[in-house]
Amino acid sequence: MTVPPLRSLFALLLSAPLVFAATGAHAAISNFTFVGLEGIAELNGQLDKRLGTTLNSTEHFINIEDCERYLGGEMEVTVRIDPRPTGNWQYAAAYAPPGKTCATTNANPEAVAGTCIVPAAQRELSSTTITFNVRFDDLIGSSCDTVTEGDASVYIIIQESSLSRVEFERIIFTVDLRAPTAPTLDSLSSGDARFQARWTDDANTADGTTYNVYWSDAPFGEDDLADVDSRDSLSAKTVAIESGVSNELTYYVSVTAMDEADNESALSNQLEVIPASTVDFWESYVGSGGGDPGGFCFIATVAQGSPGSMSSELGTLRAFRDNILMDSAAGRWMVGEYYTHGRFLAAWIADKPALKAVVRVMLVPLVWFAELVLWAGPVGAFAFILAALGGLTLMRRRLALAVPHLVTLPEGRS
């Protein structure tokens, strides 16, 4: 049968309000809040955070590991409708595994084994908080080794008693029982106490795929992953491993892929690398006889001459800087000021032999003082200096009494 174009347009215009009215009857619940999930019995406190257990969570993942861990268990779902709608309302809670749905046309959805589980129906909405239990086995809907993925649904339906209005919320639980494919480790390049791994992954193209890199100084398999070093949650397909790596040692490296639900792939192929020492610019400069001592011990360096001639004194002053001064705010301020201004003084005296000699002599008590503080600690050094000053004062007084014409004490002191 053919319908004249004008008539079909007219029919479409007439039917539009009916379509809008039908969809409007299943609006989202006003003032709805997802409060949280809590494991029941042996699962109490055991739910992983990827399940979206906390207030206002919008993503809820169940992966292979969760499936196995939650097997036979239940969780309590809590939601809130605050303030409650006015009038007489009923509510229902229902859930369906991936690929299945529950009817949401009223607060009495039909329970169908394996399709729609209804823990609560036609309950009076007398409180702002609704809680109900969900069995994981029914929500997941299949065994953990089915290599499937899909969205399970948890429904909260409310209905005004006169049947004029029905509202519902659907909370989606992504059930991902499909582990990603293992990536391919393409190459390892060695460096100085480091190595770099590069891999490709053509199979896992979904957003949110990350990678874990494992390495050890002995070959390893999937059962050994808890005992080997790793770097997790890498988004790039290359990584430089730069800590805990020794030169001249053979390292075995593998990589795995992780999907958004934290399912981990099998290990990739395993490659070997032997880090070896390299020479950077500064090492090459020093090795070529470059005389710049580096660091910032300007004045002492300039005054003492070549770095080799004053290694002991410089070492003392540097240890004093690092171990004593840098331990306090005042000391750090002094070091900062020294670095700001010391270089200019050092440059100024660099070509003045007489001045260098004077500074060198002046540095001697400073080096002694630094050695004393390093040996006795700040408090011990202070006590030592105080005792020394006391001893000197006593000696001076005795000397003044014994030989008055050599030592003059301040007026009124005897």
Partner 1 sequence: MTLALRLPRSWHLATLALVLTAVASAPALAETPRSMMLELHGGGYSPDVDSALDGGTPWADTFGSSSMTMLRLHLDYQIWQDFGSLAIGAGMGYGWIDGKARDDGGEATEDEVGFNLVPLTLSIVYRWDWAAVNHSVPFVPYVKVGLTGAFWWATDAKDSISNTRDAQGNAREGSGLTLGWHVGGGVMFLLDVFSAGMAAGFDNEAGVNNSYLFVEYLYTSIDDFGSADSLVLSDNALSFGLAFEF
Please report, as ranges, the residues that interact with partner 1 according to CB under 8 A: 189-194, 196, 242, 276-296, 298, 301-302, 306-308, 311, 314-315, 318, 339, 343-344, 346-347, 350-351
Show the beta-strand stretches assigned E in 74-165: 74-81, 89-96, 117-124, 129-135, 149-160
CB of 216 to partner 1, least distance (A): 21
Query: Cβ closer to partner 1: 156 or 363?
Result: 363
Query: Cβ closer to partner 1: 179 or 302?
Result: 302
For the record, the structure tokens of 52 come out as 């979206």
Asked if 97 and 149 count as a contact pair (C-beta separation under 8 A), the reply is no
Asked if 128 and 157 count as a contact pair (C-beta separation under 8 A), the reply is no
For the record, the structure tokens of 342 come out as 């010391």
User: What is the strand order of the sheet 32-39 is part of?
Assistant: 32-39, 74-81, 129-135
Cα separation of 60 and 408, whole Å? Answer: 90
Query: Residue 300 burial by CB count (10 A; 0-12/13-18/19+): exposed, middle or buried?
Result: buried
CB of 298 to partner 1, least distance (A): 8
CB of 316 to partner 1, least distance (A): 12
Query: Cβ closer to partner 1: 145 or 283?
Result: 283
CB of 340 to partner 1, least distance (A): 9
Query: Cβ closer to partner 1: 178 or 318?
Result: 318
CB of 321 to partner 1, least distance (A): 12
Query: Cβ closer to partner 1: 108 or 196?
Result: 196
β-pairing, 166-176 vs 26-27, is parallel
Asked if 261 and 174 count as a contact pair (C-beta separation under 8 A), the reply is yes
Query: Cβ closer to partner 1: 71 or 326?
Result: 326
CB of 258 to partner 1, least distance (A): 26
Query: Cβ closer to partner 1: 246 or 414?
Result: 246
CB of 349 to partner 1, least distance (A): 11
Element containing residue 27 per DSSP (H, E): strand 26-27
CB of 38 to partner 1, least distance (A): 45
For the record, the structure tokens of 265 come out as 């792939």
Strand-pairing partners, residue 375, are none
CA angle 204/273/282 to nearest 5° reads: 110
Query: Cβ closer to partner 1: 122 or 238?
Result: 238
Query: Cβ closer to partner 1: 46 or 190?
Result: 190
Q: Which residue, 135, 124, 57, is CA-closest to 96?
A: 135
For residue 275, give the 3-state DSSP assignment. coil
CB of 77 to partner 1, least distance (A): 48
Residue with tokens 């009223």: 106
For the record, the structure tokens of 85 come out as 């709608």
